[in-house]
Chain A
Amino acid sequence: MDDLAALKNCIDGDKDSFRFLVERYQHQAIGHATTVLGNREDALDAVQEAFIDAYRAINRFDFTRRFYPWFYVLLRNRCFKMLASAGRRNTESADQMEILAPQPESSIEETLSLEAALLGLMPEDRELVTLKYLDGLSYQELAELLQIPKGTVMSRLFYARKQLQAKLT
């Protein structure tokens, strides 16, 4: 089954098709939400809420689009809402890795210091940098996903990398 067929079935009330979409995208979504929120526990809540939002809004899905970019807007709104709500603050210390995974090419210290530097960035900058370098999205894909012009992607990436470099040194 592909996403569009699953979405059509969802509109017809087939919950198993929605399960297919959840199972296909939940891990990717948790990774993205963890990056924005800075911690995994809040990310799990945000992803859950975003999928429920998606289920409720499924009738309004535009079939000219792909599912994940559409869902990402809902997820992003959930994450930024959580960040804005009282008591939700992203942690600035990186005792454990929530965003990054240990890599054979990097030492644990190097990865931990990068994780800490990432957590020290503004959520929007952290989101942009990780979508670019961990997910390998092109400038065009970033512009579409974040609904900003390509030029803005370039300049925001420049300032985000600059911030990151400053936090690393």
Chain B
Amino acid sequence: MKLDECEKTILSAMAEMDREPPLLSAEQMAQHLSRCEQCRTEIERQAVAVTLLEKQKRRAETADLWLEIDKRIDEKTVSHPVARWYFFLLLGAILVVYKLLEMIPVQDLGFLFKLVPVIFTVALFYLLKENPFKINADLELEG
């Protein structure tokens, strides 16, 4: 299990450098490092990168995005759950009325009546803000 020991030692040394609690005790690290030149070299190399990084700061930023964001949020309304519920309730009521009318025997209510389920489905997807034909590849991109 040489690799595990090396990994643990390097991770512990780096954790110490990052002022974090190490995985191994100081004695365990010293013991391993005294006989593993590879780990000593690796730690020295990583320490160089850390020292260089710690001297740096992020570029200062001055951009103000509010005006643009303000314009955009005015275009897109915030979804208010209560208002949205009324639409769902209305759609539900329309569907119930449609089903009741459909149950009346010997009634031909015409072609438009037959289109009600299609209109209902379109309205539902519109309310859910979903395009049923769009393949959502975004889900795999997170993380």
Contacts and interface: CB of A to CB of B under 8 A. Distances in A.
Interface string B14-49: 110010100000000000000000000010011011
B79 A56 contact: yes
A27 B61 contact: yes
A154 B15 CA distance: 8
B69 A164 contact: no
B84 to A, nearest CB: 10
Given A31-B58, A114-B53, A52 B66 contact: no
B64 interface: yes
Interface residues of A, number: 56
Contacts of B66: 19, 22-23, 26
Contacts of B18: 132, 139, 157
A106 B54 CA distance: 11
Contacts of A161: 14, 46, 49-50
Contacts, number: 133
Interface of B: 7, 10-11, 14-15, 18, 20, 42, 45-46, 48-50, 52-66, 68-70, 72-73, 76, 78-81, 138, 141-143
12 contacts: A23-B64, A27-B60, A30-B65, A31-B58, A48-B69, A52-B76, A77-B142, A106-B52, A130-B58, A135-B58, A139-B18, A157-B18
Given A51-B69, A105-B55, A147-B143, 14 more contacts: A15-B70, A26-B63, A26-B64, A27-B60, A31-B58, A44-B63, A52-B69, A56-B79, A99-B59, A100-B58, A101-B59, A138-B20, A148-B143, A162-B46
